Every structure is written in C-alpha cells, then in structure tokens.
C-alpha cells in the first residue's frame, strides 16, 4: 500500500478482525518516501475499532531507524509510547509477532534467528483488541512522496 503524505498525523492501514487468544505474525517492508525525512512509521498493531497500539519502525532524519510500540487514541492522535524508541536498527524489512494469551499482550521482533521480546503488558491495557492493522504514518508536511508499506507475509493462529 502507499500512504499519502500529510501535514498532520495520519495513521492509515488495512484492518482485519481477530479474537483473543491469538498469535499474529507479520513480515513487512517499509519504503520511506524520502531518505533522511522525519515522521514516517510502518508496522503492525491491534485495534478496538477506535484506539490503536502498534509495533513499528520509526524513520527520522536525525537518527537511524528506530523500533517502538506506540499508542494511538485515534488515527490522528498519538498517545503514549510504552516501549522505545530504540535506535540503531538497520534496514527496512522487519518481522513482528504480537501474542495475546488472554493474560498478557506481548510484542516481539525477529533478530539473529530468534524472537526478541520488546514489550509485555497485561491483556486489556490501553484497549481490548478486536482487530489487527498493517499500516503507518507519513507526516512530512505535504512534501508529496508516498510511504510504501509492503506486507510480505502475515498469519494469525
């Protein structure tokens, strides 16, 4: 998908339903609109239909690619960041896993042949999910270039 540039926060993506408990796997490729331009994210997350929580790659002009978990009060308003951002990542392809085992919601990423846990929180924290989303934000003040989000693989068990 291509996410248009906007002068305000514009979380955009594709959503599908899910039910707890679940394990969500996703392999995504993020193609920033322009190199060294801030305020672009790409990732996967969960939603209750209004609020969102996502594990995502964050692209900023001043640093390497970062990893974070971001809360969204709605598609135009970012809330708290319960994990990250962690700088120093390389590349624009990422594998993410989100698990809700009815007790905890756990966010992980793939690195060096294994899943690395990034955040664990009580199930129901921030939201009680009914769906998942693949997408991102392209907040570059109308420079015109779209952000590419390529979903290479996904699965829910």
> Which domains does the chain carry?
2-156 (2.60.120.200)
- Mean pLDDT for the stretch of residues 29-46: 81
- Mean pLDDT for the stretch of residues 37-42: 79
- Mean pLDDT for the stretch of residues 131-151: 82
pLDDT at 62: 73
Does the pLDDT at position 76 exceed 90? Answer: no
Q: Among 5-14, 119-128, 147-156, which is the least confidently predicted range?
A: 5-14
Q: How sure is the predictor about 45, in pLDDT bands with cuts at 50, 70 and 90?
A: very high
- Mean pLDDT for the stretch of residues 57-79: 88
pLDDT at 24: 97
Q: How sure is the predictor about 22, in pLDDT bands with cuts at 50, 70 and 90?
A: very high
Highest mean pLDDT among 6-10, 75-79, 127-131: 127-131
Q: Residue 119: how many CB atoms within 10 A of its CB?
A: 18
pLDDT at 142: 59
CA neighbor of 86 nearest in space, from 114, 106, 116, 112: 116
Tell me the pTM: 0.91
Q: Among 41-55, 56-70, 121-135, which is the least confidently predicted range?
A: 56-70
The upper half-sphere exposure of residue 60, i.e. CA atoms within 13 Å in the direction of its Cβ, equals: 13
- Distance between CA atoms of residues 20 and 134, nearest Å: 18
Please provide the average confidence, as pLDDT, over all residues in the chain: 89
Q: Are 97 and 114 in contact (CB under 8 A)?
A: no
pLDDT above 90 as % of the chain: 58
Q: Are 137 and 9 in contact (CB under 8 A)?
A: yes
């Amino acid at each position: 998908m291509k996410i248009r540039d906007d002068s305000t926060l514009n979380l955009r993506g594709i959503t599908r339903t899910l039910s707890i408990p679940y394990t969500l796997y996703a392999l995504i490729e993020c193609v920033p609109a322009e190199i060294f331009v801030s305020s672009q994210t790409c990732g996967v997350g969960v939603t209750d239909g209004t609020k969102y929580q996502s594990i995502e790659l964050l692209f900023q002009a001043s640093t390497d690619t970062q990893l974070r978990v971001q809360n969204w009060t709605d598609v135009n308003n970012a809330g708290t960041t319960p994990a990250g951002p962690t700088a120093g990542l390389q590349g624009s392809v990422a594998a993410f896993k989100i698990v809700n085992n009815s007790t905890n919601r756990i966010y992980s990423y793939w690195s060096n042949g294994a899943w690395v846990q990034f955040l664990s929180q009580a199930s129901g924290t921030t939201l009680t999910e009914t769906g998942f989303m693949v997408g991102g934000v392209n907040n570059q003040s109308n420079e015109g270039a779209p952000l590419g989000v390529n979903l290479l693989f996904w699965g829910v068990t």
